[in-house]
């Protein structure tokens, strides 16, 4: 199907999915696929989850939208759930991940300007991904995302990921640093997992310099790594954390959470949105969060992740094409020794949806609701794919 009335941002797309249930989706010809990328880290609770469907239907029949000129009880309820899970103090709701990061970047800048720092600057990482708006693509550490959109937004200093000394060196060159913006694990960047104490060291550095530690958990949040937020694996708290993808399980919503002084930075008139935090999106997310919490999905994700990781490590031991197998919870990467984008198509013909990122990393982001049979199916099909590569 050629869709010439759509801007060509996604190239040609050969697969048309029309229905989903549990961890499976169906195309228009009735073929089914095990979705091992869950809508790119969005549908952790799978497709057509009854609690989420019910919450959306009920809210749609009651009140779809009111503006942020009025109290929105669903927004307050969802904020309370997020605060309870995160240990943060206040929440701003947006419609997407990039917008949640925009809020974080605005907080860092105003925090700096309020304390008299001229041209407040944020440290960002090589290999990072923070979104496609002008500020977030400028913060992103991937030339492909930036080329053609110059001039980029100023106020970012880039250092290598997982390198605390590089941050110290940057700080000695720039007196106007106000924050660090970093992913606890780089998702788009190839499932890069930093040293176990990286976030702890960043926390320490931020405390000593009065910088804000701002974590982009748009992909890693909402139980994806086996804790509600990935920073909980390190027993630290950031000053700002953003999330989106899994929060609405498919209904567009993002959130920027802040703590302490960072939570008081934005005041009336400083920021806003027409749709962010509307009753429909918040009702869906309340159902998502209640399901995740009551079902103790963080523990389930941790166990499922360990099972998959050890199965892949065993299967690929001694396979010279496999450079590395890594993961945290249900965020898994299999790094191959050559570009492997064509595995996506090969996967489809085997009835499984996978993703390839960074050219040579098979990225798996399955749902949290895989049955035992689906776990076996996923392992068998991915092992076959990589072995035949
Ligand atoms: C997906 C993603 C974003 C962008 O989110 P959008 O909802 O597409 O704007 C930002 N940061 C990270 C880490 C992401 O994975």
| 154/45 same-domain check | no
Quick one: angle between helices 297-316 and 372-388, nearest 10?
30
Distance 26 CA to ligand 1 centre (A): 26
Tell me whether residue 330 is in a domain.
yes
Tell me whether residue 173 is in a domain.
yes
pLDDT over 60 at 143, yes or no: yes
Per-residue model confidence (pLDDT) at position 331: 98
| 284/372 same-domain check | no
DSSP state, 189?
Answer: T
Q: Residues forming the annotated binding site for N(2)-acetyl-L-ornithine?
A: 132, 273
| 324/263 same-domain check | no
Tally the domains of the chain. Answer: 2
Strand partners, 331: 328
Q: Which atom of ligand 1 is nearest to the CA of 128?
A: 13
Largest Cα–Cα separation, the chain: 61
Q: Which residues line ligand 1 (CB under 6 A)?
A: 96-98, 101, 129-131, 183, 187-188, 216, 218-219, 244-245
Per-residue model confidence (pLDDT) at position 182: 98
- Summarize the confidence of residues 368-385 as an average pLDDT: 98
Per-residue model confidence (pLDDT) at position 385: 97
Strand partners, 42: none
| 60/148 same-domain check | yes
Pocket test for ligand 1, best of 41, 98, 102, 355 (most atoms within 8 A of CB): 98
| 311/278 same-domain check | no
pLDDT over 60 at 303, yes or no: yes
Tell me whether residue 1 is in a domain.
no
Taking phi over 0 as left and psi of -120 to 50 as alpha, with beta for the rest, 304 belongs to: alpha
DSSP three-state, residue 158? strand
Q: Tell me, what CATH number does 325's domain have?
A: 3.90.1150.10
| 85/41 same-domain check | no
Tell me whether residue 11 is in a domain.
no
Percent of the chain with pLDDT over 70: 99
- Summarize the confidence of residues 28-47 as an average pLDDT: 97
Per-residue model confidence (pLDDT) at position 4: 82
pLDDT over 90 at 3, yes or no: no
Q: Which residue among 264, 294, 324 closes a domain?
A: 294
Distance 206 CA to ligand 1 centre (A): 24
Q: Which residue among 267, 294, 321 closes a domain?
A: 294
b vs e for 246-280, b when ≥16 Cβ sit within 10 Å of the residue's Cβ? bbbbbbbbbbbbbbeebbebbeeeebebebbbbbb
- Summarize the confidence of residues 169-193 as an average pLDDT: 97
Residues 6+ apart with CB under 8 A from 143: none
Per-residue pLDDT tens digits for 220-253: 999 999 999 999 999 999 999 999 999 999 999 9
Tell me whether residue 6 is in a domain.
no
CA dihedral 362, 368, 370, 375 (to 10 degrees): 40
Report the first-to-last Cα separation within the chain, whole angstroms. Answer: 29
Q: How far is CA 186 from CA 17, 35, 230, in A?
A: 28, 21, 12
Tell me whether residue 12 is in a domain.
no
| 199/333 same-domain check | no
Q: How high does pLDDT run on average in the chain?
A: 97
Per-residue pLDDT tens digits for 50-81: 999 999 999 999 999 999 999 999 999 999 99
pLDDT over 90 at 12, yes or no: no
pLDDT over 70 at 7, yes or no: yes
Q: Which residue among 268, 294, 320 closes a domain?
A: 294
Can you give the residue range of the structural domain that contains 166?
Answer: 52-294
CA-wise closest residue to 293 among 66, 76, 152, 82: 82
Per-residue model confidence (pLDDT) at position 1: 52
| 290/300 same-domain check | no
| 224/308 same-domain check | no
Q: How far apart are CA 297 and CA 369, in angstroms?
A: 9
- Supply 133's token pair: 């708006």
Q: How far apart are CA 274 and CA 286, in angstroms?
A: 20
Tell me whether residue 2 is in a domain.
no
| 249/112 same-domain check | yes
Q: Tell me, what CATH number does 173's domain have?
A: 3.40.640.10
Pocket test for ligand 1, best of 130, 136, 184 (most atoms within 8 A of CB): 130
Per-residue pLDDT tens digits for 248-296: 999 999 999 999 999 999 999 999 999 999 999 999 999 999 999 999 9
> Contact, 381 vs 34, CB < 8 A?
yes
User: Which residue, by CA, sits nearest to atom 11 of ligand 1?
Assistant: 130
CA-wise closest residue to 247 among 300, 187, 288: 288
| 137/226 same-domain check | yes
Distance 29 CA to ligand 1 centre (A): 31
Q: How far apart are CA 292 and CA 300, in angstroms?
A: 10
């Amino acid at each position: 199907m050629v869709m010439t009335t759509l801007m060509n941002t996604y190239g040609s797309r050969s697969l048309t999915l029309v229905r989903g249930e549990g961890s499976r989706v169906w195309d228009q010809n009735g073929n089914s696929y095990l979705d091992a990328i869950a809508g790119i880290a969005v549908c952790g609770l799978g497709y057509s989850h009854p609690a989420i469907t019910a919450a959306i239907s009920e809210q749609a029949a009651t009140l779809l939208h009111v503006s942020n000129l009025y109290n929105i009880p669903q927004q307050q309820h969802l904020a309370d759930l997020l605060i309870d899970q995160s240990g943060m103090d206040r929440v701003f709701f947006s419609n997407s991940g990039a917008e949640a990061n925009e809020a974080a970047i605005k907080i860092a800048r105003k925090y700096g300007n309020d304390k008299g720092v001229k041209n407040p600057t944020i440290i960002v990482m090589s290999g990072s991904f923070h979104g496609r708006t002008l500020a977030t693509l400028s913060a992103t550490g991937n030339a492909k995302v930036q080329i053609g959109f110059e001039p980029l937004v100023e106020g970012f200093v880039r250092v290598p990921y997982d390198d605390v000394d590089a941050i110290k060196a940057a700080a000695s060159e720039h007196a106007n640093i106000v924050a660090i913006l970093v992913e606890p694990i780089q998702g788009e960047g190839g499932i890069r997992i930093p040293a176990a104490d990286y976030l702890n060291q960043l926390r320490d550095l931020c405390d000593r310099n009065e910088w804000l530690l701002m974590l982009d958990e748009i992909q890693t949040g909402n139980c994806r790594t086996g804790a509600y937020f990935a920073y909980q694996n390190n027993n630290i708290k950031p000053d700002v954390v953003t999330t989106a993808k899994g929060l609405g399980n498919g209904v567009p919503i993002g959130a920027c959470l802040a703590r302490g002084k960072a939570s008081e930075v934005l005041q009336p008139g400083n920021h806003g949105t027409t749709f962010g935090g509307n009753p429909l999106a918040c009702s869906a997310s309340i159902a998502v969060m209640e399901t995740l919490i009551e079902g103790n999905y963080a523990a389930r994700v941790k166990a499922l992740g360990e099972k998959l990781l050890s199965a892949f490590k065993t299967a690929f031991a001694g396979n010279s094409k496999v450079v590395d197998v890594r993961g945290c919870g249900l965020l898994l990467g299999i790094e191959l020794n050559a570009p492997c984008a064509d595995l996506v198509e090969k996967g489809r013909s085997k009835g499984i949806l996978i993703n390839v990122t960074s050219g040579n990393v098979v990225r798996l982001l399955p749902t949290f609701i895989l049955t035992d049979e689906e776990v076996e199916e996923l392992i068998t099909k991915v092992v076959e794919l990589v072995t035949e590569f």
